[in-house]
Amino acid sequence: MPYSRLTRSRALAVPAVLLAVAIGATACGGHDSKSSAGPRADATAAKGGGQPAAAGSAAKISITPGDSTAGINPGVPVKVTVAGGTLAAVTVTPNGKATDGVTPVAVTGALDPAKHQWTSNRTMTPGTAYTVKVTAADSAGKQSAATSTFRTVAAVKVNGVTPTPLNKAVVGVGLPVSLAFDKPVTDKAAVEKALSITTTPAVKGSWGWLTDPLTGVQRVDWRPDSYWTPGTKVTLTARLSGIDTGDSRFLRRDIHDSFTIGTARISYVDLKAHTMRVTENGRTVKTFKISGGKPAFPTWNGKMVVLSKQSTVRMTSASTGIATSPDSADFFDKQVKYAVNITTSGTYTHAAPWNDAMMGVQNGSHGCIGMHTSDAVWFFDRATRGDLVITSGSTRATVDKGNGYGEWNLSVDQWRALSALA
């Protein structure tokens, strides 16, 4: 999949408002949708939606959906055609809020080369009244105008989406762009076609679909072919409002956000040598002793990404299914300090003063990477969401691609194969 890819239909898209400005025409006013209408609604639109065409203009406009139509599927395209002339301006704008209070999206579209047809190229917000305003001109330059107002069907079922990262964050070189869905998406291709990533400088990458093996949360991530370069500017545009994710479960909002790549912080954990070497921008800044997962509970192998960090986390053997009885040798219930989370299954780096004698000597944890408290403080203070932690030398399997951001354990070809558009 190409870098900074826009969908094909979007590449030719002309925002309706810009179309009006570029051609220098003024659209006419509209009115609210009232009820369903049949052929008469289209006939009204052809006459200008209740406004008379300029005397003698041969340009006859037709708009679909027709005027006063209700219950329109948000995925149905808006189409405007003209006979006996060319289109001068088309706008499709929402009238106020959607029925559930969401701010609806304006609709963009593309004009054919002959300027005889305009077709929308995105979905509309559910439960929203839209007004289409059109002007056209015949060969003599005489204008006609038409208006159509319709309403999209309200979303009985909705799907939510959580994007990462957000709010112009500065993140590490391993953090993909990620959209996690509240409910599984059936029509993955429809969602993926509505997504685009732009970067400065240009970066090659691809979307891929994943499911977290522990939580069952489905998401679609955009991962670059190789780690981000510090200083890269990344922008996500997700034109999701009105997409049916399956079984008439609609997405309701668009997403637009950007972030920047910060320090290239990559830490290498050798579970045989019991050491952790931290690098920043390719330079080793610290190496210290650690104790990983003991033979019965080994640490994951592979590439993991910092998800979050907390100064104190309660960790219990019962919550992980290791041991529920206080009489068990593997029972624990601890307030763990300086915890940096690297998998959703519960792998952390953290202070482990109870294992101080094991640091650099043997692996004695239940799967986490323990450190002397002073080293844990140092690493905690530096760790940033998106930093990479790469482990080797464990007897455990490589971390699953959906367990946190484990997708870095896939080759470029393996990752690209997870795209719904591959």
Catalytic residues: 350, 368
Are 220 and 179 in contact, with CB atoms under 8 Å apart?
yes
User: What is the gyration radius of the CA atoms in the chain, in angstroms?
Assistant: 28
Q: In whole angstroms, what is the distance from residue 274 CA to residue 358 CA?
A: 9
Length of the chain: 422
DSSP assignment string, 225-238: SSPPPTT-EEEEEE
**How far does CA 67 lie from the centroid of its chain?**
35
* CB within 8 Å of 132: residues ≥ 6 apart: 30, 63, 78, 80, 90, 91, 92, 146, 147, 148, 149, 150
Contact 251, 193 (CB under 8 A): no
CB of 422 closer than 8 Å to CB of 416: yes
d(CA 378, CA 356): 16
